[in-house]
Structure 1
Amino acid sequence: MERKHSTLHIFFFPLMAHGHMIPMIDMAKLFATKDVKVTIITTPLNVPFISKAIEISKTHQSKEINIQTINFPTESGLPEGCEHVDSISSPELRSIFIKKTTKLLQKPFEELLLQQHPNCVVADVFFPWATNSTAKFGIPRLIFHGCSFFSLCANEVMRLHEPYNNTSSDSELFVLPDLPGEIKMTRLQVANFSKNGTEVDKFWEEVRESEATSYGVVVNSFYELEPAYADYYRNVLGRRAWHIGPLSLCNREKEQKAYRGKEASIDEHECLKWLDMKNVNSVVYVCFGSMASFPGSQLGEIAMGLEASKQQFIWVISKGKEDGEEWLPEGFEKRMEGKGLIIRGWAPQTLILEHEAIGAFVTHCGWNSTLEGVSVGVPMITWPLGAEQFYNEKLVTEVLKIGVPVGVKKWGDIEGGGIKWDAIEKAVKMVMIEENAEEMRNKAFELARMAKQALEDGASSHLSLNALIQELDSPLR
């Protein structure tokens, strides 16, 4: 019988960006089911998004989830109303938001800690100052990276060993030393690790220091997905970590899944009705997350590739009708009538992916999307853009073997990497209809089974979560 934890109070403090807020809200909901008092910290303009997500889940929680606001700094240097990364179109302003403006939240956050003195704070990795803030009050700080064990290990190995220095060109392959699996990459596929004393370098140094002195790390993953890397992270790199995912699976009801993120740009019933008319594993789902910014030329190549593949598809694009549609091949939408569904804006991704008609997922390899694909057993076509996404591509295509790369060569190209239509056609056919497609699909199905099982009573993520809660609630901590 599980012990109740009615006295335990945890703050959850996500970066104000959908890719960070969505899993952190799911995590808060998961802890609330364990009778933990939960408070989500955010700024005023982000409250409606969070309150709607938790309102829908109220009946599934032992405890009510509270929202506590701290005012966004007026001296931020950003235009008024920019309290969320997704509301900022300029990469330069996004960098200011993440690395400078959020530091101004430290003082009001510490005032909140003084007032409420929670037992623990789970704070986003992009708030390195939170480790010092919580230490002032003797409160343990857990870090949430929002990525996989594999990418955490690969990134640290890259930083420690600098294997890219032993290559003669940007395209020469090198092995990530000491990392299980003989993983090979090129200099083009990784972020710039040069230490030039820039603001960016200083920020990431602060992140590393805060991780080293924090209480530990919570990871949105499950042990069976990446056991060698979970073990490496803990036993070789020496980091305290708890795997408690897949977090998206804490949303069991249709309404919960429909409202993960922004308001959908399409009625979910209309979308699912369209899918209901399709055969099992017959539709390709294409979505590149909220940060991609593909030019018309790249969108045109995607359209031509999808048409050439002769596969049905749902394609989520950020360009609206007001942007013009000159990028679409002439007569494309008419030819694709009934075969393709284009969603302009935000899509109910979880509901779409779990539909039996979806047979492949073209993804930017953000960890939320990757793990959602894994959790429902959908093979992937990988199209990484930046962040840790090239590592996730390696995990999907070479370790798990449940996907194929579309062929992006260069890290940091949010415009799509200049991939041509024939490469898209080839990758789609490989996952949907060619010889190895069935083998990939079977592996994906097996991983989905293990993902769901991991959260059940007595299974890996369930045990890891309980162990963390018991440790935080222990008077001997």
Structure 2
Amino acid sequence: MAEAEQRNHLLVVPFPAPSHMLPLLDLAYFLSASFGFAVTVVVTPKNLPCLSPLLSRAPAVSPLVLPFPGDFDLPPGVEDAQGLRFPHVNTLLRALGGLHGPILRWAEEAAAAYLPVSAVLSDFFLGWTHRLAADLGVPRLVFSPSGAAALAVQHSLWRRLPQRTNFDDAEELIPFPSVPRSPLYPWRQLPTLFKIFEQGDPLSEFVRDGFLGNIDSWAFVINTFSELEKPYLDHLRDDLGHERVWAVGPLSLIGGGSSTERDAAVEELFAWLDGCIEASVVYVAFGSLAVLPPAQVSALAAGLEKSGARFVWAAKGVEETIPERFEERVAGRGRVLRGWAPQTAILGHPAVGAFLSHCGWNSVLEAVAAGVPVLTWPISADQYTNARLLKEELGMGTVAYEGVEPAPDPTELARVVTQSVGEAGRARREKAKDASRAMAAAVQEYSGSSYMNLAALKEELSRWTSLKAI
């Protein structure tokens, strides 16, 4: 490792949720393996196993294991810190802020003992690390596991704090005039963290300060690629007043991801898919955290049954609410997966012609990678923005439903599912294939836009480190 590269020591602070943590760890692996960065990842004991695949293949990556902060008051009925079960994400964000002091003490000792931290790379939920970086005298790079369009909406929300004029109307439209295409979102579609914000409340103000801290940070590293969201990336650069906004995704391809073994049940599933006509199967999944209420599960099951289409339903989290004898009634054309599902491999199978999804960003990127159009059913967070991007700008999305109340009409849901596969879905599949080809080009080593953005990140950070050393 060259001397200049040795000075690049990244302190990586992830948010402990799979959809946030895994792409950031892929980024850490790439920066370590390809660019020679030394990387230290902050982790609490409960999440240390998540680092095992990374640590086994990246000798320049080290864990910094710190106990989960306990110096805060948990609301009634919430498990202790080791349980990591909180009623709202904002409570977890505030709790994680308690890592500031321990990290700062460790960094001061590291600087004196062996290798000083040259930058902090942290999740956008951890805006308090902007102050941590300032205390260390180093730049902070914000990692966004969401796309650039969602980030633009997020910045507008926390700066402006728009309010409803009619507090009884969840459909009241909130304008975003500064965001490309000037979108309007009903109040109910805004992120929950914003909707529960109360001005003057210490917890709410802590959350807002964190997002404003993101805006003031040195750079943004976003899990997207330039060809997918160019207008929004350009907007972010204009809005932030600098060029240090790097689209480096999808990180599952850049960073190599982690391999998974197929068990017997999965092998049987792929044998079944091998016997299906091309683009005839709908894959149904709502991510690792989203859980549909029983009424929605019943309506979804009824819609799939009425559609007559072939399907694979990854039902983790809702298995117990699937209607009785449903699998018997759809035997031969429908499969229900319980527990873990190899989503990337399923989407990549030629038999899969559509993806009924909650539109979490990782799922969006996986659909684009596979060239599979999406039936959108957003529920919360950035998912409404992602669904809009898929439908209105990429042309590879169709609205299936949205939200969790009330339950969808099974007949209408069946119609959407039926028209998503076969010849009826060909036009959207072509759009999805176009996006997939653009993604493949973006991650090409040395020439792709995402690879070049990673190289620019390295150069800018090395330049900053060199100037500081003078």
TM-score of Structure 1 vs Structure 2, range by shorter chain: 0.7 to 0.9
- Aligned partner of 1:310 in structure 2 is 308
5+ residue gaps, structure 2: 111-115
| Secondary structure class of the residue paired with 2:311 | strand
Contact 2:90 / 2:204 at 8 angstroms: preserved in 1? no
| Aligned counterpart for 2:456 among listed residues 457, 467, 477 | 467
Which amino acid in 2 is paired with 1:258? T
Which amino acid in 1 is paired with 2:49? P
Between the aligned partners of 1:149 and 1:297, the Cα distance in structure 2 is 33
Shift of 1:11: 2.0
176 and 210 in structure 1: CA distance in 2 versus 1, 3 angstrom threshold: closer
Q: How does 1:31-430 map to 2 (within 5 A)?
A: 31-34=31-34, 35-52=36-53, 54-55=55-56, 58=57, 64-75=60-71, 77=74, 79-80=79-80, 82=82, 84=84, 88=85, 91-92=87-88, 94-96=89-91, 98-116=92-110, 117-159=116-158, 170-171=170-171, 173=173, 175-191=175-191, 192=194, 196-238=199-241, 240-250=244-254, 256-258=258-260, 268-319=266-317, 323=320, 325=321, 327-328=322-323, 330-408=324-402, 415=404, 417-430=406-419
Between the aligned partners of 1:10 and 1:22, the Cα distance in structure 2 is 17
| Secondary structure class of the residue paired with 1:473 | helix
Shift of 1:445: 0.7
266 and 251 in structure 1: CA distance in 2 versus 1, 3 angstrom threshold: farther
Using the aligned pairs only, state the percent identity: 31
3 and 464 in structure 1: CA distance in 2 versus 1, 3 angstrom threshold: farther
Contact 1:161 / 1:177 at 8 angstroms: preserved in 2? no
Shift of 1:271: 3.5
Between the aligned partners of 2:227 and 2:7, the Cα distance in structure 1 is 32
Between the aligned partners of 2:202 and 2:271, the Cα distance in structure 1 is 50
Contact 2:279 / 2:422 at 8 angstroms: preserved in 1? no
Shift of 1:377: 1.0
Contact 1:265 / 1:345 at 8 angstroms: preserved in 2? no
Contact 1:407 / 1:419 at 8 angstroms: preserved in 2? yes
297 and 282 in structure 1: CA distance in 2 versus 1, 3 angstrom threshold: same
Cα RMSD (Å): 2.9
Between the aligned partners of 2:134 and 2:268, the Cα distance in structure 1 is 50
Shift of 1:163: 7.1
| Aligned counterpart for 1:451 among listed residues 433, 439, 459 | 439
* Residues 54-92 of structure 1: CA deviation (Å, up to 9, x unaligned): 53xx2xx6x5432221112344545357465xxx3x634
| Secondary structure class of the residue paired with 1:281 | coil
* Residues 225-246 of structure 1: CA deviation (Å, up to 9, x unaligned): 0111110111244353111101
Larger mean CA deviation between 185-194 and 204-213 belongs to 185-194
Contact 2:355 / 2:375 at 8 angstroms: preserved in 1? yes
Shift of 1:141: 1.2
Between the aligned partners of 1:26 and 1:471, the Cα distance in structure 2 is 20
Between the aligned partners of 2:409 and 2:329, the Cα distance in structure 1 is 20
* Residues 399-430 of structure 1: CA deviation (Å, up to 9, x unaligned): 1111111232x5xxxx4652231232122223
Shift of 1:266: 7.8
Shift of 1:335: 2.3
468 and 416 in structure 1: CA distance in 2 versus 1, 3 angstrom threshold: farther
Alignment coverage as a number of residue pairs: 449
Between the aligned partners of 1:372 and 1:83, the Cα distance in structure 2 is 31
| Secondary structure class of the residue paired with 2:104 | helix
TM-score (norm 1): 0.85
| Secondary structure class of the residue paired with 1:423 | helix
| Secondary structure class of the residue paired with 2:270 | helix
Contact 1:157 / 1:177 at 8 angstroms: preserved in 2? no
271 and 197 in structure 1: CA distance in 2 versus 1, 3 angstrom threshold: farther
427 and 285 in structure 1: CA distance in 2 versus 1, 3 angstrom threshold: same
| Secondary structure class of the residue paired with 2:419 | helix
TM-score (norm 2): 0.87
Shift of 1:320: 6.5
Shift of 1:367: 1.0
Shift of 1:285: 1.1
Larger mean CA deviation between 397-406 and 166-175 belongs to 166-175
66 and 417 in structure 1: CA distance in 2 versus 1, 3 angstrom threshold: farther
134 and 180 in structure 1: CA distance in 2 versus 1, 3 angstrom threshold: closer
5+ residue gaps, structure 1: none
Larger mean CA deviation between 203-212 and 163-172 belongs to 163-172
271 and 75 in structure 1: CA distance in 2 versus 1, 3 angstrom threshold: farther
83 and 105 in structure 1: CA distance in 2 versus 1, 3 angstrom threshold: farther
Contact 1:363 / 1:380 at 8 angstroms: preserved in 2? yes
Shift of 1:394: 0.9
104 and 176 in structure 1: CA distance in 2 versus 1, 3 angstrom threshold: closer
* Residues 140-176 of structure 1: CA deviation (Å, up to 9, x unaligned): 1111121111111123344556777588954355653
Contact 1:359 / 1:379 at 8 angstroms: preserved in 2? yes
Which amino acid in 1 is paired with 2:413? I
Which amino acid in 2 is paired with 1:70? L
160 and 426 in structure 1: CA distance in 2 versus 1, 3 angstrom threshold: farther
Between the aligned partners of 1:6 and 1:122, the Cα distance in structure 2 is 17
Shift of 1:299: 0.8
